Amino acid sequence: DGGITQSPKYLFRKEGQNVTLSCEQNLNHDAMYWYRQDPGQGLRLIYYSQIVNDFQKGDIAEGYSVSREKKESFPLTVTSAQKNPTAFYLCASSVRVMWNTEAFFGQGTRLTVV
């Protein structure tokens, strides 16, 4: 079945560590996105990519990094510079830029700092 796969579902990070969240899609979509979700805050955009080898910062990119080497994959690294990384992270994709088309979301990764 076509869709978006995020892994792992749960992730624990120690202080000072970098961790990488995986996002893979087999929908042949050009655009991919990372959102952060905190209780009562809605979704906030971290990074997005409209095409392979290109990505743009969203509203809260500090402390995060991404790469887009393949159309299917858009991994997110949460670096030690992110001071409050505990959150629910959602990856999404769309045929083209999201604002005028449907976005498809993964099941999310819950990251906890221990």
Partner 1 sequence: AQSVTQPDIHITVSEGASLELRCNYSYGATPYLFWYVQSPGQGLQLLLKYFSGDTLVQGIKGFEAEFKRSQSSFNLRKPSVHWSDAAEYFCAVGAGYGGSQGNLIFGKGTKLSVKP
Nearer to partner 1, 27 or 80 (CB): 27
Let me know: does 55 contact 61? Beta carbons within 8 Å.
no
Q: What is the amino acid identity at position 18?
A: N
Q: Is 41 in the site for partner 1 (CB under 8 A)?
A: yes
CA distance 51 to 108: 22
Footprint of partner 1 on residues 50-89 (CB under 8 A)? 50, 58-59
Nearest-approach distance from CB 43 to partner 1, in angstroms:
4
1 touches partner 1 (CB under 8 A): no
> In angstroms, what is the minimal distance from the CB of 16 to partner 1?
27
Q: Rounded to the nearest 5 degrees, what angle is found at the Cα of 27, between the Cα atoms of 54 and 72? A: 40
